[in-house]
Amino acid sequence: MSNGYKDLKNRTAEFGGKEDNDGIIRCDACPVLCRIKPGKSGACARYANDDGVLIRCDNLLLTQRAIQNEDALVPFADSEWDGHPLRPADTFVTGVGAGTTYPDYKPAPFIVSAQHDDVDTVTVVTEGIFSYCGIKLKIDTDRHLGTETSAVYCQGEQVGHVTTAEYGSQMLSLGGVHHLTGGERKEGRITCETLLALCNKEAVDLQIEGGSQVIVQAGKAPIVNGVEEQRMRVGCGSATIGIFADQWYGHVDEVIVVDDHITGQLSEHQAGKCLGIVPTGIRLIGNKSTPGRYFKVANPGVGWGGTDISDPLTVLQTINPKVAWPGMRILLTSTTGEDAFYCVLNEALEPVEAKMPTAVAAVVDRIGENCEPSLCSVLFMAGAGGSLRAGITRNPIQLTHSVAKSQSRITMAGAPVYIYPGGGITVMVDILKMPENSFGYVPTPAIVAPMEFTMPITLYEQLEGHMDSIIPVEEVIRQLSDEARIENWHEDNPWPFDD
């Protein structure tokens, strides 16, 4: 190629693939070492034999952000314009479709130089092969999905477990090296398929041991036991009392917000005391914590407030006839407002269902208004190990230290990542911030995920990076723009070269 740069279109042939006499290519892009016949693809479907040449089946992804200065002249690569309006200063080369560094000694597939704000930068672009990876699945719902540490199954194989619940969300931990490689072959295969589907924003059907069947998909509402969830709780039972106490004042005498964790009672709650609400003589079942706050009013379930309750009156343990009075107005509601029951005590101090007053119904509706939509969030988590780091630098510990000091910026298909503290390079990313079909797999089994490391070129040299493999972004555009997958930059993501 001109300017002395290597032929990027044939980079797969350069990095891996040895042809036998019968035209079969042995691909060394991963430890499986597939022998690929002419016209066929490997087990991962990412590499194929094109008439004796190892080629990548999916194209490199280039992202283009909007012009930052509408009055500025648009610089193009120093060649005849081929019709692709890619601007080097606003183009980011992602790891999607880039290829991997296996075996470890090879430089990353793309080491791209660019200038931003008068700073010479390098972005090392690769796809990591991750055995040490998994998903943290956040499911916004009050429904009880399963007891903590219960096994999570997909297609009959364990792929993870239930972990600690968070405020209004049930949390699952899926994948991990022990499920991918530590069990039977089928377990590893199904685990890999599950992770890949979720990371590529597909729906997956999970069964929780002793609990619920739930269909999950990133950015979609969970479907629990065949019913699509609608709302995430506004707060626990106690918090709901505190938020809406003054709006109920004068319209009801007692409010009970049923919750699996902390059930609230207005007349005993500090919010009710401050408003001057008088005692009602109602004692709830369960363990009383502090005034107006009860634990364990029921077992966990898919009923009211994440309990197994379908009849809310079962939370009433006693009604003290010395304190309660006929005509006392009682509202029972869940933490989402989806379930609500209004009753009045008769002369025998028995609760009798009555029509809910408009003012009371309005506050129940307000609870629902303050509940966010129930969603599933898929957070991919992985540890960047040997082959990936060796593709960046000849001395990987220096890269690890530069990441820990925030000197090198990591992105995944351009999306920002959270970097865990402590040793190593452990990252977590929200897959909704990534382009479609960013993930692949190899049948070792392991997940293949894009990753980019951006830093000043001076730092890259200090890290003993592969300086001889640096290619200007203009050259990447000139050679590959006609066959690359080109998408707009995700505007919610920070530009990797800022700051």
Closest CA to 20 of 49, 41, 47, 56: 49
Indicate the average pLDDT of the chain: 90
- Using the Cα atoms of residue 215, residue 216, residue 219 and residue 221 in order, give the sign of their dihedral: positive
pLDDT, position 43: 84
Domain membership flag for residue 497: no
Higher pLDDT, 73 or 389: 389
Query: Domain end: 232, 252, 270, which one?
Result: 232
Closest CA relative to residue 410, chosen from 101, 128, 73: 128
Q: Give the pTM.
A: 0.88
Rounded mean pLDDT, 91-118:
89
Would you mind telling me the total number of residues written for the chain in this entry? 499
Handedness of CA 297, 301, 304, 309 (dihedral sign): negative
Lowest mean pLDDT among 105-109, 128-132, 316-320: 105-109
Q: How far apart are CA 68 and CA 145, in angstroms?
A: 47
What pLDDT, on the 0 to 100 scale, is given for residue 73? 42
Quote the pLDDT of residue 1: 35
> Tokens representing 80?
């005849």
DSSP 55: E
- Range with the largest mean pLDDT of 35-44, 46-55, 292-301, 339-348: 339-348
Handedness of CA 17, 18, 23, 25 (dihedral sign): negative
Question: Is residue 197 pLDDT above 50, yes or no?
Answer: yes
Q: How far apart are CA 60 and CA 284, in angstroms?
A: 62
Helix or strand holding residue 398 (H, E): helix 396-404
- Which residue is listed with tokens 């672009």? 125
| Structural domain includes residue 215 | yes
* Pairwise CA distance, residues 278 & 386, whole Å: 67
Q: Flag whether 192 is in a domain.
A: yes
Beta-ladder partners of 157: 154
State the average pLDDT over residues 357-365. 97
Asked whether the bond before 445 is cis by omega within 30 degrees of 0, the reply is yes
417 half-sphere exposure, CB direction, 13 A CA radius:
29
Asked if residue 32 has pLDDT above 80, the reply is yes
Q: What is the pLDDT of residue 33?
A: 86
Say whether both 363 and 255 belong to one domain: yes
SS3 state of residue 33: coil
Q: Are residues 401 and 426 in the same domain?
A: yes
Helices first, then strands: H and E counts in the chain: 10, 35
Query: What percent of the chain is modeled with pLDDT above 90?
Result: 73
Structural contact between residues 188 and 170, judged by C-beta atoms closer than 8 angstroms: no
Q: Say if residue 8 is in the same domain as residue 47.
A: yes
Strand partners, 342: 331
For residues 220 and 310, membership in a common domain is answered with: no
Domain that holds residue 293: 237-369
Q: How far apart are CA 227 and CA 215, in angstroms?
A: 10
Residues 34 and 122 in one domain: yes
Q: Of the candidates 320, 345, 369, which is a domain's last residue? A: 369
Q: What is the pLDDT of residues 266-277, one digit of tens each?
A: 999 999 999 999
- Count: domains in the chain: 3
Residue 388: pLDDT band by 50, 70, 90 thresholds? confident
If asked whether residues 241 and 221 sit together in one domain, one would say no
Residue 105 and residue 184 in one domain:
no
Domain assignment present for 377: no
Q: How confident is the model at residue 138 (pLDDT cuts 50, 70, 90)?
A: very high
**pLDDT of amino acid 287:** 94
pLDDT score for 45: 81
| Per-residue confidence (pLDDT) for residue 28, from 0 to 100 | 79
Residue 453: band (very low, low, confident or very high) from pLDDT cuts 50, 70, 90: very high
pLDDT, residue 444, reads 87
With 0-12 CB in 10 A as exposed, 13-18 as middle and 19+ as buried, what is 262?
A: buried
As a whole number of angstroms, the distance between CA 133 and CA 117 comes to 35
| Separation between Cα atoms, residue 403 and residue 417, nearest integer Å | 12
**369-382 pLDDT, tens per residue?**
999 999 999 999 99
Domain membership of residue 498 (yes or no) is no
The beta-strand segments (E) located in 413-495 are 415-416, 418-419, 426-430, 440-442, 446-456, 470-472, 485-488
Find tokens 């028995």 and name the residue.
350
- Please state, as a whole number, how many other Cβ atoms lie within 10 Å of the Cβ of residue 148: 11
Listed in sequence order, the residues at least 6 apart from 345 whose beta carbon sits closer than 8 Å to its beta carbon are 319, 324, 325, 326, 327, 328, 330, 351, 352
- 151 CB-near residues (< 8 Å, 6+ apart): 158, 160, 161, 208, 209
Residue 9 confidence (pLDDT):
66
How far apart, in whole angstroms, are the C-alpha atoms of residue 193 and residue 188? 9
Buried b (16+ CB within 10 A) or exposed e, 36-50: beeeebbebebbbbb
- For residue 141, pLDDT over 70 is answered with yes
Q: Which tokens is 491 given?
A: 């505007």
Ranking 4-18, 59-73, 452-466 by mean pLDDT, the lowest is 4-18
Residue where one domain finishes, among candidates 340, 369, 398:
369
Q: Both 281 and 304 in a single domain?
A: yes
Q: What is the mean pLDDT of residues 246-264?
A: 96
User: Which SS3 state, helix, strand or coil, does residue 284 take?
Assistant: strand
Q: Write out the two tokens for 295.
A: 């634990």
Q: Is residue 496 part of a domain?
A: no
Please indicate, yes or no, whether residues 444 and 462 belong to a single structural domain of this protein.
Answer: yes
Between CA 21 and CA 36 the distance in angstroms is: 13
Q: Are residues 447 and 336 in the same domain?
A: no
Position 15 confidence tier, pLDDT thresholds 50, 70, 90: low
- Note whether 7 and 96 are same-domain residues: yes
Q: How confident is the model at residue 182 (pLDDT cuts 50, 70, 90)?
A: confident
What confidence score (pLDDT) does residue 79 get?
42
Three-class DSSP category at 42: coil
Strand ordering across the sheet containing 25-26:
18-19, 25-26, 35-36
Residue 72 confidence (pLDDT): 45
List C-alpha distances in Å: 387 to 84, 104, 441.
34, 4, 16
Alpha helices in 161-252 (DSSP H): 177-181, 185-199, 237-248
- On the question of pLDDT at 31 being above 90, the answer is no
Judge whether 211 lies within some domain. yes
Q: What confidence tens digit (pLDDT) does each residue in 55-92 have?
A: 778 889 999 998 765 544 444 344 444 455 688 989 99
Q: Which uninterrupted H or E stretch holds 364? A: helix 358-369
The whole-number average pLDDT for the span 421-428 is: 95
Residue appearing with tokens 């499920």: 179
Radius of gyration of the chain (CA): 29
- Mean local confidence (pLDDT), 294-306: 92
Residue 438: inside a domain? yes
Judgement on whether residues 30 and 124 belong to the same structural domain of the protein:
yes
